[in-house]
């Protein structure tokens, strides 16, 4: 089970890393005399979103895992705290039957972060990173994008049992999609990923995650192809 207090503290540390506002230093902080909003309220609003009932994979466990992986990869980012904030927002809006989740999540960041004390440039970078998770294909030299995308895709390199649990949770989120349509859609996503020159862009990701991820994706694609043809 996710530790909500720890997640709130991680949110505040990331905010503190992008602003000079001392309100972000204490998880028990309250609005200051000037009427500035309590930064914890933004964490709580996001935590509520990440616990919505339609989620099976895109849950607090996924948020925590992405934040953990950003920490592992932080040395490769130009602005790791902005990447951490992007991790918080990257699936903040998640409706499996909608195709614009990343855009809506980015717009949420654009509304909330200025209120929370993040600069215009910082807010724009967070929103850009959230939108990048549509393709997970950062441009060469986009160090922040490489870290967020690698952190988000690291589940693809999970051990067999964890990878199987991940695929089952994704299927549960799309329970309303008929089997044939789901297999076709999921297969297209897997092929798109396998067609990338590299799934992971950071040196750590390429060394530690790439081979296992490609094995997992290829095995899942083969399984889906077999399921399409019961006679095979």
Domain spans, the chain: 4-228
Check pLDDT > 80 for residue 227.
no
Mean pLDDT of 112-120: 96
Percent of the residues in the chain that have a pLDDT greater than 70, as a whole number: 90
22 compared with 197, residue with greater pLDDT: 197
- What are 30-71's pLDDT values in tens digits? 444 455 678 999 999 999 999 999 999 999 999 999 999 999
**For the chain, percent helix, then strand, then coil, each to nearest 5?**
65, 0, 35
Dist CA 189 CA 195 (whole Å)? 10
pLDDT band at 229; cut points 50, 70, 90:
low
- What are 173-190's pLDDT values in tens digits? 999 999 999 999 999 999
38 compared with 86, residue with greater pLDDT: 86
Mean pLDDT of the chain: 91
For residue 221, give the DSSP letter.
H
Tell me, what's the pLDDT at 147?
98
Tell me, what's the pLDDT at 29?
42
Dist CA 11 CA 25 (whole Å)? 10
Give domain 4-228's CATH number out of 1.10.3210.10, 3.40.50.720, 3.60.130.10, 1.10.3720.10.
Answer: 1.10.3210.10
Check pLDDT > 60 for residue 194.
yes
Question: By C-alpha distance, which of 46, 37, 17, 13 is closest to 27?
Answer: 13
Tell me, what's the pLDDT at 35?
55
Centre a 10 Å sphere on the Cβ of residue 207 and count the other Cβ atoms it contains: 10
């Amino acid at each position: 089970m996710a530790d909500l207090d720890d997640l709130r503290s991680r949110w505040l540390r990331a905010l503190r890393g992008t602003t000079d506002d001392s309100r972000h230093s204490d998880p028990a902080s309250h609005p200051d005399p000037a009427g500035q909003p309590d930064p914890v309220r933004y964490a709580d609003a996001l935590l509520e979103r990440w616990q919505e009932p339609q989620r099976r994979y895109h849950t607090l466990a996924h948020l925590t895992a992405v934040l953990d992986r950003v920490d592992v990869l932080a040395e490769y980012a130009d602005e790791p705290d902005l990447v951490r904030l992007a991790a918080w927002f990257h699936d903040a809006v998640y409706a499996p039957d909608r195709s614009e989740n990343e855009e809506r999540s980015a717009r949420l960041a654009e509304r909330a972060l200025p209120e929370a004390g993040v600069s215009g440039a910082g807010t724009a970078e967070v929103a850009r990173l959230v939108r990048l998770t549509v393709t997970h294909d950062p441009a060469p030299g986009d160090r922040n994008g490489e870290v967020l995308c690698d952190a988000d895709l690291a589940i693809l390199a999970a051990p067999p049992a964890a990878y199987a649990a991940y695929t089952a949770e994704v299927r549960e989120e799309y329970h309303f999609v008929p089997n044939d349509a789901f297999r076709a859609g999921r297969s297209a996503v897997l092929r798109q990923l396998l067609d990338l020159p590299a799934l992971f862009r950071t040196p750590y990701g390429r060394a530690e995650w790439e081979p296992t991820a490609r094995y997992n994706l290829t095995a899942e694609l083969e399984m889906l192809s077999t399921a399409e043809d019961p006679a095979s």
